[in-house]
Amino acid sequence: MKINACGWLSGVRRVPSPNFDARPPNQKTNLLIIHSISLPPEQFSGGGVERLFTNTLNCDEHPYYERLRGVKVSAHFFIRRNGEITQFVSCNQRAWHAGVSEWWGKTRCNDFSLGIELEGSDSVSYTDAQYKKLQYLTRRLQRNYPLKQIVGHADIAPGRKTDPGPFFDWKRYLNSL
């Protein structure tokens, strides 16, 4: 698997999201942000995340979805519990994953970051398959982009976000790189 000049990783499922735009001119992509998501919360293997990222989520389908009505978000990648990787946005584009954010005094982290969503929550451990694919994907990204830092969503939006949560094993992940 390689990342082509257009920013797409070969060998993974591709589901283009409309929720992206151009990065600022001459902006280096040097931050990797790890997130977690499950829709509905604590439920895995459904299609809610994909529908959210492609603006096709039926907000009447589940009571939780009402709070997502009109929300337009995306990530570059999504890793399911079984390790399947889906890419939603080219790495060359700005995905809408970080929201209001700041890292080392720089705001608007979407401008200079890549976002990976793990299917999970703050109350469950991640799977071996997810760690294996996250490690693999991170190494591919590091070969193509000057990623100087790897952080969690909670690190760039403290008090607003908690993911990837207390069950994400940072030591295991970072030592694997």
The active-site residue, picked from 50, 61, 102, 117, is 117
Residue 50: partners with Cβ closer than 8 Å, 6 or more residues away: 15, 78, 86
The backbone torsions φ and ψ at residue 86, rounded to the nearest 5 degrees and listed phi first, read: -120, 135
Measured CA to CA, the distance from residue 171 to residue 143 in angstroms comes to 21
Burial class (CB within 10 angstroms; exposed 0-12, middle 13-18, buried 19+) of 45: exposed
Residue 117 known to be catalytic: yes
Measured CA to CA, the distance from residue 98 to residue 30 in angstroms comes to 14
What's the token pair of residue 21?
């735009």
Which residues are designated catalytic? 117
